[in-house]
Amino acid sequence: MIKAREIHGLAALDQMFAAARAQGRAAFLPYFPIGYPTHQASLDAVAAMAEEGADGFEIGIPFSDPIADGPTIQAATQVALENGTTVRKCLDAVGTLRAKGISQPMLMMGYANPLVAYGTDRFVRDARRAGADGLIVPDLPPEEATLFAGSCAREGLALVFFLAPTSNDRRIAMAAEHATGFIYVVSLTGITGARAQLPAYLTDFIARLRSRTDKPLVLGFGISKPEHARQVSDLMDGFIVGSALVRAGGESAAAVRELARSLRGVL
């Protein structure tokens, strides 16, 4: 008998950050799209990463026109769509993972249009029912927060907003005001994709953010190697790895497991 999760939504994310902090490290949050390379393989990849100590997940919902993604995730999500992945199947995937006993926080990550087509309130409600804890929409800036803010607040789900090195103080204040759960910090100006090295300006940028908000800061875009993970672990509350894991996922389940282990192992 699998034990039901006792806490969910924002509280589950808070607990996740607190637990990582207590161990003196950042939380490791892998991104993986449902339906790539197959529906089952994507579930297996998430399950394997959960076993390797991932602290939470971004569950990717594929979209035909992903303007914030680099070639790796574009190609993977295209395959996922060809495999018949729908918004409903992504929600069901979360339900399936929960039924398997995976208890880490999960955030649905998808572009606005498929969620609008599903119905924004209905989507947030069904995400909550499936066992998701939050929502990340890369083409939803805080200006347009009202599309999801009410339903996320009602269901107790986190609604994450982004900050980029290009964000000025006014935008930092907006994200700090509207984001719940955490703020997703884009580590470089650009689209997703594994980079060889982390940019040097990062420390100053994070310090600037810390002086303006108490919300947890999670770094994403461009983290691919264990040495990156080690570098950001002291600086951040969490970090996201996407493209590198997706690339490994295209090779084999074992490759995902191995990369997740090496990323988690250095923390």
Partner 1 sequence: MTEPYIRTDLADLPDARGYFGEFGGRFVPETIIPALDELEGAYADAIADPAFHAELAHLQRTYTGRPTPVSYARRLSERLGGAQIYLKREDLAHTGAHKINNALGQGLLAKRMGKKRIIAETGAGQHGVGTATAMALLGLECHVYMGTVDIKRQQPNVFRMKLLGAEVIPVTSGSRTLKDAINEAMRDWVTNVETTFYLLGSALGPHPYPMMVRDFQSVIGVEAREQIQELTGQLPEACIACVGGGSNAIGMFHAFRDDDGTELIGVEAGGHGIESREHAARFADLDISRPGILHGTRSYVMQDEDGQIMETHSISAGLDYPSVGPEHAHLRQMERAFYTMATDEEALEAFQVLSVTEGIIPALESSHALAEAIKRAPTMPRDSVLLVNLSGRGDKDLDTVIGVLGS
Binding site for partner 1 (CB under 8 A): 63-68, 70-71, 74, 78, 81, 86-88, 111-118, 138-141, 143-144, 161-164, 166-168, 171, 175, 186, 189-191
User: What CA–CA distance (Å, rounded) separates 18 from 26?
Assistant: 10
Least distance between partner 1 and beta carbon 244 (Å): 18
User: What CA–CA distance (Å, rounded) separates 28 from 31?
Assistant: 10
Residue among 68 and 173 whose Cβ is closer to partner 1: 68
Closest CA to 81 of 35, 42, 37: 35
Radius of gyration of the chain (CA): 17
Among the options 44, 51, 55, 58, which is catalytic? Answer: 58
Question: Is 44 known to be catalytic?
Answer: no
Among the options 14, 44, 52, 69, which is catalytic? Answer: 69
User: What CA–CA distance (Å, rounded) separates 29 from 264?
Assistant: 10
240 sits in which H/E element: strand 238-241
Question: Is 126 known to be catalytic?
Answer: no
Residue among 38 and 113 whose Cβ is closer to partner 1: 113
Residue among 48 and 73 whose Cβ is closer to partner 1: 73
Using the structure block, give the residue that is written with the tokens 């569950």: 59
Q: Which two tokens stand for residue 177?
A: 């005001």
- Active site positions, annotated: 58, 69
